[in-house]
Amino acid sequence: MSQKNYKREHWLTIEQLNAIDLLVTGKTDQAVADAARNCFGSLYR
């Protein structure tokens, strides 16, 4: 059984890093989701 090599081609986006920062500082999932909607409001409507 051969093992496939996993290679990450892309790093996290700025938005993803911002979401992680918010979660680490104690924000709720809802607060992070609201912040994401503010960045991408037109995508969620």
DSSP track, 8-27:
------HHHHHHHHHHHTT-
Look at residue 28 and tell me whether its pLDDT is greater than 80. Answer: yes
For 2-20, the pLDDT digits (tens) are: 666 656 666 888 888 888 9
pTM of the predicted model over 0.75? no
Mean pLDDT of 26-30: 93
Look at residue 27 and tell me whether its pLDDT is greater than 90. Answer: yes
**What is the residue whose two structure tokens read 């996993």?**
6
**What per-residue confidence (pLDDT) applies to 44?**
47
Q: Distance between CA 13 and CA 38 in Å, rounded? A: 16
